[in-house]
Amino acid sequence: MNDILKADLNALKVLDVLLDECSVSQAAKRLHVTQPSVSYTLQKLRDLFDDPLFVRNPRGLTPTSRAESLRPAIKQLLSDAQQLIAPPVFVPEEAEFTLSVSANDYLQIALIVPLVQRIRALAPKVKVALFDLDSKAAAERVRGGELDLMLSFPQALPADFSSEELFTDPYIAAARQGHPLADQQASAESFLGYDHVIVSPTGFAFEGGLFRDLHHSPLLDKVAVTLPNFAVLPSLLAASDLIAMIPRRLLSVMSGPLSEVKIAATMPSITVAAAWHPRLDHDLAHRWVRNLLRAEALLA
Amino acid sequence: MNDILKADLNALKVLDVLLDECSVSQAAKRLHVTQPSVSYTLQKLRDLFDDPLFVRNPRGLTPTSRAESLRPAIKQLLSDAQQLIAPPVFVPEEAEFTLSVSANDYLQIALIVPLVQRIRALAPKVKVALFDLDSKAAAERVRGGELDLMLSFPQALPADFSSEELFTDPYIAAARQGHPLADQQASAESFLGYDHVIVSPTGFAFEGGLFRDLHHSPLLDKVAVTLPNFAVLPSLLAASDLIAMIPRRLLSVMSGPLSEVKIAATMPSITVAAAWHPRLDHDLAHRWVRNLLRAEALLA
DNA sequence: AAAAGATATAAAAATGAACGATATCTTGAA
DNA sequence: TTCAAGATATCGTTCATTTTTATATCTTTT
């Protein structure tokens, strides 16, 4: 049996040219090799197909009927191969895929929402599936190919993932519009004169990134309320004189009008990164999304 | 630009196995080469596709999205290639082509007619185009691919054609049924007592194969009629007491009932051969026809 | 009769692929 | 913790195959 594993597929490229030229010499010219080289390859082809393929005529070669019958299939095969190795192109307007992203609620609001708007404007057929972030499970789902992207803090990202830092956002203090300290330069005393609310998934355990910087800060003693996420923060602030520490980017995009409380102290900040499986490093669609994400991160 | 002439198509066979195994080591086992060899080919593939194709994981390799997207096309391509190099098969029942044959009228009657019957019985979709023989023009038409086969005498066939002798047929003497000499052993005298008719395309010039052997034969003096072909011979014989010299095979297949006139003299004979362009030597359909022709020639 | 132009062949050179040994990394087990 | 197992990548070296140069052979053409 004539097995493909034994066959030299590269010889088919020579056969293709031979079919065009019907001349070993001319084919050699076109292939930029010498005539004996093509003659040698022709021998291999004759062996492979168990057919002379070409018989001599005064001016070169006449293809056998087998060679003629091979012609269309050879052309098709090489054209397919050319397609195969051609660099892939990504056309946003026509791209059709689902992007699955996991992010905490801060990043959902501050980054993903505007990202989705950009995506929908440029690539209307692309769907986006957004998931809350559960770091441990998320990493596994990235590994399994269920998730394309996870957004979190650099420390929370698996080391074997590809990742990219997006931006660093300083915390600011915020309160309801009309709050006594709103839009003012507040002193430390007046700032600590109000009770505070902080988003802390672990409650008063205060574990996680932000709280490293605030470890023995007097601020923590003034925290009266902790929230698991930013969702209800606007309405809580609106209905009280509580002051919240939030990343700056949330100030403008969070629903409900809030004011900044300016204080002299240098505030901690959080750095945000995107991570994905290295398998997607060169994926054109994925790279396109990452470019959009990077552009969005650079704004404001 | 990534040109197919530069690409090593054989590497695609390795990529195919790699996509199956997701392991350089396993792929190497399946390919019966060493692991570094596959690793080396993988490098070439990475270069060719400008993509890592696989990233490492604890147990081997994880394909990139590009590699995954390549998978179906690779499978298809290799399957096509396998088809391409697979030995061709010829199925008479389904074969669909036109066989163009040129032969003199003797062979048309004695060989081609039964051949057509065989062909029609075995390969109902095959058409046969029959042409009278004009050796010079026929050879050119064979060379040009218009004719698939020419049947003639070995001397009349171009030397650069492939050819095969089919049979040798002795001349016999024939006359109408009821002729005084019919079915008898005739003496030379009684045989020469009748006028004769002979097929001689050149008339009384008596040129050609048969007449070499009869050059100074007294028979030629008794020839009263010459015919350009065998077509009208039966009716001429039926309507006269003429005796004809015809190849034995014509006796049974020629229309109109004829009887043999047996004579003691050793008769000349003609040898018949088929010729075709060497390009068709390995053509399966052509070989099938030649086999039928050979089988038919062996009969009677 | 020789010159031109074609393919095939032979020996030598050069290229490229496969090998064995080894480095490096990760995982899983003692 | 350490060690063994198992994975890919890398490094020279060896070996096989392709390519080249040179030549033979055949046919056509001048």
Q: Express each pLDDT in B51-60 by its tens digit.
A: 999 988 877 7
Longest dimension (CA), chain A: 106
Using C1' positions and the CA of A46, the closest nucleotide is: C8
Using C1' positions and the CA of A56, the closest nucleotide is: C7
Confidence grade of residue B215 (pLDDT, cut at 50, 70, 90): low
Region B221-225: mean pLDDT is 81
> What CA–CA distances, in Å, run from B300 to A137, B45, B72, B261?
87, 65, 58, 19
B294's CB contacts (< 8 A; 6+ apart) are B164, B166
Nearest CB to B279: which of A65, A279, A283?
A65
Give the pLDDT confidence score for residue B211 in this predicted structure. Answer: 66
**A5: closest chain B residue by CA:** B13
Residues of A in contact with B7 (CB under 8 A): 81, 85
| pLDDT at residue B49 is higher than 60 | yes
Region A87-109: mean pLDDT is 91
Give the pLDDT confidence score for residue B93 in this predicted structure. Answer: 95
| pLDDT at residue B266 is higher than 90 | no
> Which of B29, B75, B84, B97 to probe by mutation at the A interface, max A CB count within 10 Å?
B84
CA–CA min distance B9, chain A (Å): 6
Kindly report which listed range (A255-264, B15-24, B122-131) carries the lowest average pLDDT score: A255-264
Reduced to 3 states (helix: H, G, I; strand: E, B; else coil), residue A281 is coil
Q: What is the pLDDT of residues A21-70, one digit of tens each?
A: 999 999 999 999 999 999 999 999 999 999 999 988 877 788 998 999 89
User: CA–CA separation, B277 vs B104, rounded Å?
Assistant: 19
CA–CA min distance A62, chain B (Å): 7
Do residues A267 and A188 touch, judged by C-beta distance below 8 A? Answer: no
Kindly report which listed range (A68-82, B24-38, B128-142, B196-210) carries the lowest average pLDDT score: B196-210
Give the pLDDT confidence score for residue A293 in this predicted structure. Answer: 95
Mean of pLDDT over chain B: 87
Confidence grade of residue B300 (pLDDT, cut at 50, 70, 90): low
**Contact at CB, A279 and B74, closer than 8 angstroms:** no
A106's CB contacts (< 8 A; 6+ apart) are A199, A229, A230, A247, A250
Give the pLDDT confidence score for residue A234 in this predicted structure. Answer: 87
Nearest CB to A85: which of B2, B69, B285?
B2
DSSP A87-149: PP---TTT---EEEEEE-HHHIIIIIHHHHHHHHHH-TT-EEEEEE--HHHHHHHHHTTS-SE
Reduced to 3 states (helix: H, G, I; strand: E, B; else coil), residue A258 is strand
Confidence grade of residue B209 (pLDDT, cut at 50, 70, 90): low
Q: What is the pLDDT of residues A138-167, one digit of tens each?
A: 888 888 788 999 998 888 888 888 899 999
User: CA–CA separation, A77 vs B9, rounded Å?
Assistant: 11
CA–CA min distance A122, chain B (Å): 22
| pLDDT at residue A255 is higher than 80 | no
| pLDDT at residue B126 is higher than 90 | yes
Confidence grade of residue A10 (pLDDT, cut at 50, 70, 90): very high
| pLDDT at residue A276 is higher than 70 | yes
Confidence grade of residue A2 (pLDDT, cut at 50, 70, 90): low
Residue A210 CB neighbour total at 10 angstroms: 19
Give the pLDDT confidence score for residue B212 in this predicted structure. Answer: 66
Do residues A280 and B62 touch, judged by C-beta distance below 8 A? Answer: no
DSSP β-bridge partners for residue A173 = A245, A261
| pLDDT at residue B92 is higher than 90 | yes
Q: Which H or E run includes A176?
A: strand A162-176
**Contact at CB, A12 and B73, closer than 8 angstroms:** no
Mean of pLDDT over chain A: 87
| Full 3-state SS string of chain B | CCCCCCCCCHHHHHHHHHHHHCCHHHHHHHHCCCHHHHHHHHHHHHHHHCCCCEEEECCEEEECHHHHHHHHHHHHHHHHHHHHHCCCCCCCCCCCCEEEEEECHHHHHHHHHHHHHHHHHHCCCCEEEEEECCHHHHHHHHHCCCCCEEEECHHHCCCCCEEEEEEEEEEEEEEECCCCCCCCEECHHHHHCCCEEEECCCHHHCCCHHHHHCCCCHHHHHEEEEECCCCCHHHHHHCCCCEEEEEHHHHHHCCCCEEEEEECCCCCEEEEEEEECHHHCCCHHHHHHHHHHHHHHHCC
Task: For the full predicted model, state whether its pTM sits above 0.95.
Answer: no
Phi, psi of B132, deg, nearest 5:
-65, 155
CA–CA min distance A56, chain B (Å): 9
User: CA–CA separation, B53 vs B98, rounded Å?
Assistant: 50
Distance of CA B57 to the CA centre of its chain: 60
Kindly report which listed range (A211-225, A240-254, B61-75) carries the lowest average pLDDT score: A211-225
How long is chain B?
A: 300
Residues of A in contact with B82 (CB under 8 A): 4
Q: What is the pLDDT of residues B134-175, one digit of tens each?
A: 777 888 888 878 899 999 888 888 888 889 999 999 988 999
Task: Give the CA-to-C1' distance from B46 to D7 in angstroms.
Answer: 19
Please choose, from the candidates A138, A120, A90, A274, the residue with its C-alpha nearest in 3D space to the C-alpha of residue B69.
Answer: A90
| pLDDT at residue A1 is higher than 60 | no
Burial of B229 (0-12, 13-18, 19+ CB in 10 A): middle
Give the pLDDT confidence score for residue B273 in this predicted structure. Answer: 92
CA–CA min distance B181, chain A (Å): 53
Sign, Cα dihedral of B251, B252, B258, B260: positive
| pLDDT at residue A3 is higher than 80 | no
| pLDDT at residue B229 is higher than 90 | no
Q: Which residue has the tokens 């065989």?
A: B118
User: CA–CA separation, B39 vs B25, rounded Å?
Assistant: 9
A40's CB contacts (< 8 A; 6+ apart) are none
Nucleic acid strand C: bases within 7 A of protein CB: 5-11, 17-21, 26-28
Nearest CB to A77: which of B52, B74, B81?
B81
Residues of A in contact with B64 (CB under 8 A): 279-283
Residues of B in contact with A80 (CB under 8 A): 73, 76-77, 80
Task: Give the CA-to-C1' distance from A59 to D27 in angstroms.
Answer: 9
**Contact at CB, A82 and B4, closer than 8 angstroms:** yes
Residues of A in contact with B81 (CB under 8 A): 4, 7, 9, 12, 77
Give the pLDDT confidence score for residue A214 in this predicted structure. Answer: 66
Give the pLDDT confidence score for residue A205 in this predicted structure. Answer: 67
Q: How many CB pairs under 8 A join A and B?
A: 119
| pLDDT at residue A13 is higher than 60 | yes
User: CA–CA separation, A61 vs A30, rounded Å?
Assistant: 16
> What CA–CA distances, in Å, run from A77 to A28, A248, B49, B86, B175?
21, 58, 18, 14, 64
User: CA–CA separation, A238 vs A178, rounded Å?
Assistant: 9
The Cα angle at residue B109 between residues B103 and B111, in degrees rounded to 5: 70
Q: Which two tokens stand for residue B195?
A: 């006028």
- Most confident among A203-217, B197-211, B229-243 (mean pLDDT): B229-243
**Contact at CB, B66 and A282, closer than 8 angstroms:** yes
Rounded to a whole number of angstroms, the distance between the first and last alpha carbons of chain A is: 67
Longest dimension (CA), chain B: 106
